[in-house]
Structure 1
């Protein structure tokens, strides 16, 4: 086997990588016959899975869930894993935390009424939790962050009477149509590759600027047709891209100058602290959207409004915000979701829990950085609160387009499969690791040991180069 390193951004021998990947995928198939059989027999499901993104797997078929508690899951073949994916943030509170389980049990068994078109008193408590954490005083609930973003966009268009939404290239806002646009030199943006069934050309609804590019943002805002900038305060799903000093303040200044609303999507950046990046970095948005983690594993999303914006909207007699406005959903704000939100925010994802999670993330980051340095790899590791990401580039990308350009699917697949074969689950879309209140130092150290072993297999030692 050759040990020469082929020049390239990832700094690894591609032939060696392919050989190791094939070996790990073969081991994965041998270890997981019941999951493989379940996948083969799922004829009634579109793509053989209940949701098509579950086909994002490094080893040709997904693992099937048996049980999940705390920071660990067990598959139907009986293998236990440390779970650093945590439902891609949906289980940031850990799997089935006791307070959420009890709140859900009480709602189901003692109180009932899971789908009733009546509010519960608990909803005010849930809204107050969000207002206290994120600073905006008026909140409404959805079932997903995607829905929250869609409704926030409609409200922004209504109150500004402008048609377009501006997003960052390679941002993540769920399946919102307006967000599926990326930059391309010499254009006003192009559809993100792979988009499915767009209702109209995305340039009709959207403008796009690179993250960390204030000049590009101002150039697009100067057209005067942007209702809102919808952004993550740090890019996440393309790999963590942190804001440069002054960038977020510049975004707020420019949006205010051009009469554009600022919508901050905290769905993934909630990991930055108890009030997300908004509180941690002192941001001042007009609207905040969030989902996933706030329900402790139960579907829940929400959007919050500034008092001034809420009053402007409610004073508009021409807007039907009750029925035909498209800002509802029969199951939004249901009693079960509200109970889960109250328990998650009130008892699980506390300030103390975030202190624990951040300390573990620092330990995870240090372990990965040590392996990268020891092997002299052109890789980097980035931390955002309780979330850590390793990238196959150094320095780390500063825009979404740069992050997309250094993506290495083959290397991702090797590391993910290697780790899964040794009892560690990473987020299948990228190399994200998230800490929960139930995660331990032992869990983190297990990853460091096996990550080091995976790299040692891949990268020859100095003596053999």
Structure 2
């Protein structure tokens, strides 16, 4: 639970507020150039080019001067150990050398021409080899990839509905913007300009709840279940033993396609959670880190699904499919994806990342134990999160209840002032190939110091 009125996550509210106030003052005093930039008229709505930038729990946004490897430097000269890494977009470090070389090379050969090249052919083969599915398409964001894959699923099944798990995250796909409230499906709060009841097109059940899943699929009108292998855009929820096997059996028994969205869980290992744990999806989506930070996403399907799509194409009326965007599958994406798949997203890099992520998990857990706080740490491969509540969590409702925004914001700011940057959402930390053991130990030390302050040690 979040806590009582006078405590959050086991910490007195007054102590959280005092930490936040003190750390905000330290942050502001240390960053006059960022403060001046924040005060200048920018021409952007709310002063930022993307409203997500308002979610950083700082008095004002840091202005970045440069990022290299696993460090980020602001305009005031502060170097931070970066464990946010662009919220997964730079999961393999900032500007990996093979990707930077590929971008420079392609920049002299044209950035977009709506035709394939040699890199495209290589990427297609690499995707089949790395992730196992037989046929692929390229998009610019995972949101687009998920949207297109769901459109295909409806087309080939002739079914109208999809199913999602409470607490899921699949980008800005409309059909997934639903949640359970008091056991009833409702639109997620805060949706700007939404004029539909999205629950009419979507069924929603709790993650790890196989009986509810089977009941929701029983009518035979669900085209596709879309899921992350682990709930990640909340307090992390790991699958219960046997959950993925039961999910695959239930979807096959009802003729429902299964889409695995690995945009966050690619941290699991080479080939993502799907390959690491032997999942068998019909459709597969990966965005963010696939091109080393260049906007790109891929979505794949099995031969069987591809055959059904080809059959559908022979009978559908002509016209725009509603799938694809002009700048998708451009040669800059292919150059960056090829370099990432061949030289960055390697077994050797994953092995090193996994070792350091284990070190981080153990260090954070030990700090929590020493402080006596009722918290826990969750990890999926190189992705680590501390959660300010007891665990493990079993579903999206429990994850929502575990979220402690005021406490998390104070911790985040305190870590920044101690030279460590984590994601502004749900306490997420990533270990990259460029991350060092010394950086991990600094983060563990900083976290331990903050925990000690929160409990008054």
TM-score (norm 1): 0.95
- Contact 1:9-1:406 within 8 A present in 2 as well: no
CA distance in 1, matches of 2:83, 2:118: 35
The equivalent of 2:179 in structure 1 is 182
SS in 1 for 2:34: helix
* Residue of structure 1 equivalent to 2:436: 440
Instruction: State yes or no: 1:155 paired with 2:155.
Output: no
> Taking structure 1 as reference, are residues 124 and 42 closer, same or farther at Cα in structure 2, changes over 3 Å only?
farther
* Equivalent residue, structure 1, for 2:85: 86
Aligned mate of 1:238, from 227, 234, 237: 234
Structure 1 residue matching 2:418: 3-state secondary structure:
coil
In structure 1, what is the Cα distance between the partners aligned to 2:87 and 2:120? 25
Task: Say yes or no: does 1:282 pair with 2:278.
Answer: yes
Give the corresponding residue for 2:187. 191
SS at match of 1:315: helix
**1:184-333 map, 5 Å:** 184-187=181-184, 189-316=185-312, 317-319=314-316, 324-333=320-329
Report what 2:49 is aligned to: 50
Q: Note closer, same or farther for the CA distance 1:65–1:258 as it changes in structure 2 (3 Å cut).
A: same
- Is the counterpart of residue 137 in structure 1 residue 148 in structure 2? no
- Give a deviation string over 1:317-357, Cα, whole Å, max 9, x none: 13479x61122110111000110000011001100000000
Residue 35 of structure 1, CA deviation: 1.4
Structure 2 regions of 5+ residues with no counterpart?
Answer: none
Partner SS for 1:162: coil
The 3-state SS of whatever aligns with 2:289 is helix
**Structure-2 residue corresponding to 1:68:** 67
Query: Residues 291 and 340 of structure 2 are in contact (CA less than 8 Å); yes or no, is this contact kept in structure 1?
Result: yes
1 CA distance for matches of 2:264 and 2:182?
Answer: 29
Kindly indicate whether the alpha-carbon contact (under 8 Å) linking 2:268 and 2:380 is maintained by their aligned counterparts in 1.
yes
Kept in 1: contact 2:170–2:261 (CA 8 A): yes
CA distance in 2, matches of 1:226, 1:49: 39
Q: What is residue 34 of structure 1 aligned with on the other side?
A: 33
Evaluate the alpha carbon distance shift between residue 335 and residue 167 of structure 1 in structure 2; reply closer, same or farther with a 3 A threshold: same
The alpha-carbon deviation at position 7 of structure 1 amounts to: 7.1
Q: C-alpha distance in 1, partners of 2:61/2:167?
A: 25
After superposition, the Cα gap between the structure-2 partners of 1:162 and 1:199, relative to the gap in structure 1 and judged at 3 Å, is farther
| 8 Å contact from structure 2 (residues 8, 404) kept in 1 | no
Match of 2:122 among 120, 125, 133: 125
CA contact under 8 A between 1:290 and 1:303: conserved in structure 2? yes
Cα distance per residue 1:60-83 (max 9 Å; x no partner):
321111101100010111111110
Distance, in Å, in 1 between the alignment partners of 2:299 and 2:60 is 35
Greater shift after overlay, 273-282 or 323-332?
A: 323-332
C-alpha distance in 2 between matches for 1:54 and 1:318: 45
Superposed displacement of residue 456, structure 1: 1.1
| 1:362-441 equivalences in 2 (<5 Å) | 362-441=358-437
Counterpart check, 1:334 vs 2:333: no
**Structure 1 unaligned blocks of 5 or more:** none
Q: Is the 8 A contact 2:377 2:384 kept in 1?
A: yes
Mapped to 1, the partners of 2:181 and 2:251 lie a distance apart of 23
Are 1:6 and 1:13, in contact at CA under 8 Å, matched by a contact in 2? no
Which aligned runs of 4 or more in structure 1 are off by greater than 2 angstroms? Answer: 5-9, 184-187, 318-321
C-alpha deviations, 1:72-113, integer Å up to 9, x for none?
01011111111000011100110011000000000002xx22
2:28, 2:206 → 1: CA distance? 40
Identify the residue that residue 107 of structure 1 maps to in structure 2. 106
Q: Distance in 2 between matches of 1:42 and 1:149?
A: 36
Residue 9 of structure 1 deviates from its aligned partner by: 6.0
Aligned length: 453
**In the TM superposition, what are the counterparts of 1:166-181 in structure 2 within 5 Å?**
166-181=163-178
1:295–1:341: 8 Å Cα contact kept in structure 2? yes
